[in-house]
Structure 1
Amino acid sequence: MNRLNEQYSDRVDFFYLDVDDVQTPSVMSALAIRDRTTYVIYDAQGNEVHRWFGALPFEAVAHDIEVALGE
């Protein structure tokens, strides 16, 4: 995720949940996140455009981000 953050931080907001934060379970529930290895991409309108579980190659995630950005 660090590489993605470096490449897209000027156009994408990245948010991470802290498993030690007492509010994290309620945020996970609200976003239908069931596992700590869940990743979600939203477009500028807040629509979910992609969700996956576990690791994906950089190129695959970069592609999904670019789709969400309309590129």
Structure 2
Amino acid sequence: MRSAGILMPVASFPSNYGIGDFGTEAYKFVDIIHQMQLKIWQVLPLNPLGYGNSPYQAYSSFAGDELYISVDRLVTD
């Protein structure tokens, strides 16, 4: 069975802090892709960046990058 999806790195979302996060814009994006009946949201690795700021050269395979935590949602939740 085929499925349709989209590649959208989390860091690409608009933000007041220079890098996208799992904040309000990410929630809006999920609502939009749900309305479009897309089944897959592909993201780049979410680990801390390693050598050359590459997500594929991470220094840990278990850690998540704290930059993707939404400061605004932390305050409101």
Q: Sort the TM-score into its range (normalised by shorter chain).
A: under 0.3
Higher strand share: 1
Larger Rg, first or second structure (1 or 2): 2
- Higher RCO (CA < 8 A, seq sep 6+): 2
After TM superposition, the score normalised by the length of structure 1 is: 0.27
